[in-house]
Amino acid sequence: MVRGSVAVAVAAAAVLLTACAPDPSDAVTGAEIFAANCASCHGPDGGGNIGLPLNDSAFATKYSLGEITAIVTNGVLTMPAYGTKLSAAQIDAVIAYILGGFVDPAAAGTTAP
């Protein structure tokens, strides 16, 4: 009985860890989150304004996914922390949208799987 419970707990943990990874299919939600929370500083297309540009290859290669998540969650320099304003799923969605090249699957004529 204990083995079965452990197996169920391990399977549940694996599902939760997989669910926490940024999913490109969240890009529509990511687009909405970006527009509401990020565009005023980073520009509607991520080109920068008050905040750094996010739509160039330098941004995507300079920081790891973990670093980007920490920056969005905890803030850095003049960027506010969003860890108390957005859920982990919302942070993952907006990061997926940014790293996906600011592409909304609906606008690109594709649908999320």
Per-residue model confidence as pLDDT tens digits over 35-63: 999 999 999 999 998 999 999 878 878 89
CATH code at 23-99? 1.10.760.10
pTM: 0.66
The two tokens of residue 5 are 């419970």
Encode burial over 103-113: b for 16+ CB neighbours within 10 A, e otherwise: ebbeeeeeeee
Report the alpha-carbon distance of residue 29 to residue 34 in Å, rounded: 9
- Report pLDDT digits (tens) over 14-34: 444 444 544 444 445 899 999
pLDDT recorded at residue 3: 52
Nearest to 101 by CA among 50, 51, 59, 41: 59
